[in-house]
Structure 1
Amino acid sequence: MPGYILTGTPGSGKTAILRHLEIDGYPVVEEAATDVIALHQALGRPEPWREPGFADRVLDLQRERRRRAAANTGGVVFHDRSPVCTLALCRYLGLAAPPALLDEIEGMTANRHHERTVFFVRHQGFVEATAARRITFEESLVFERIHELTYREAGFDLADVPAGPLVSRVAAIKEAVDRLRR
């Protein structure tokens, strides 16, 4: 099962791209951090990313979603982020990465849970705030750079998905996957 990761800074358009790919028939593994944040905010914890164990909770959900996707598909699947993104988030927040997260990243590269090429969705020049996304555009540029460095350090190749119309971005990803699978 070829698993391609889509990553980038918050607000870059990853979710819209994933929704388009999903509607086009591709299996999608949802991003975990936003869902962990939303759940804990609903439980009355306004900034769960500052709580101990946050990265572990994100990793647990990522693992479960990857397992479910592997059991239910035989074709190309797209992942909205990965444990490498969780490591980038830890670095951005100044948190120590949990050992389980580092082990997961080592395992995902050694066991090829994901393809080596990662689609790096570039920012679009702005960020819209949400309950879970409390980052300014300037902060998002720092976060984008940390993501890029973290993925390269983990041994992944980055395929840029530049800003542009959604249809063009999706087409570029599909064309790249077709080339990579040949």
Structure 2
Amino acid sequence: MRRHILTGAPGAGKTTIADRLARTGRTVVAEAATDLIRTAQAAGDPRPWTDPGFCEATAALQRDRRHDADRLPGPDQYFDRSPVCTLALARFLGHPVGPVLAAELDRAAADYAPTVLFVDLLDTLTPTAVRRISLPEARAFAQVHLDAYTEYGFQIARIPAGTEADRTALALRLTRP
């Protein structure tokens, strides 16, 4: 089984590509941080990512979802983000790297395909309750992701701005055995 990572800045279109991959029958694992944010916001915390323990909670959920994905069908799995993305978030927010995230980072190179699908930003960014970042901040955050993945030995395959269909088709071509 190959685990492919979709990454990039918030609002780049990762989840849109992941959703399209799922509609074509591919196994997709949802982004952990977004789900944690939605849950916390529903419980009354408008900005849960500001908690220094947020990245640890994200890494723990990513770990659990990676384990759960072992029971899913198909030779390829597409992960909407990985622990290396969580490291990028920790660095971007100035949060500590705790033991769960550190352990997940130690396994990352062995657990995921060596080439990461980096979804480039579009020319606009629509803020949401979960995504509260400006386009300039998103561009800076994208670079933090690129640096983290390079540091951990991953190769970067860029998915440039384009239509949803074109970007999804490119993701499939790039992950073909």
TM-score band (shorter)? Answer: over 0.9
Q: Match of 1:10, SS? A: coil
4+ runs deviating over 3 angstroms: none
CA distance in 1, matches of 2:171, 2:52: 36
Specify the code of the residue in structure 2 equivalent to 1:163: A
Specify the code of the residue in structure 2 equivalent to 1:60: A
1:173 alignment partner, one of 138, 146, 171: 171
CA distance in 2, matches of 1:156, 1:117: 6
Partner in structure 2 of residue 129 of structure 1: 127
Specify the code of the residue in structure 1 equivalent to 2:17: I
Alignment gaps of 5+ in structure 1: none
Partner in structure 2 of residue 99 of structure 1: 99
1:73, distance to aligned residue in structure 2 (A): 2.4
Alignment gaps of 5+ in structure 2: none
Stretch of structure 1 that moved more, 64-73 or 113-122: 64-73
1:80, distance to aligned residue in structure 2 (A): 0.2
Partner in structure 1 of residue 155 of structure 2: 157
- How large is the RMSD of aligned CA atoms in angstroms? 1.0
Deviation digits for residues 158-177 of structure 1 (CA, Å, limit 9, x no counterpart): 00000001111111111111
1:52, distance to aligned residue in structure 2 (A): 3.3
Partner in structure 1 of residue 46 of structure 2: 46
Stretch of structure 1 that moved more, 112-121 or 63-72: 63-72
Q: Percent identity?
A: 42
Q: Match of 1:52, SS? A: coil
Asked if the contact 2:122/2:161 (under 8 Å) is kept, the reply is: yes
CA distance in 2, matches of 1:52, 1:58: 11
Q: Match of 2:85, SS? A: helix
User: Aligned pair count?
Assistant: 177
Deviation digits for residues 120-142 of structure 1 (CA, Å, limit 9, x no counterpart): 00000111111110000010000
CA distance in 2, matches of 1:72, 1:13: 24
Specify the code of the residue in structure 2 equivalent to 1:144: A
Partner in structure 2 of residue 75 of structure 1: 75
Specify the code of the residue in structure 2 equivalent to 1:15: T
CA distance in 1, matches of 2:96, 2:60: 17
Are 2:87 and 1:87 aligned?
yes
1:51, distance to aligned residue in structure 2 (A): 1.4
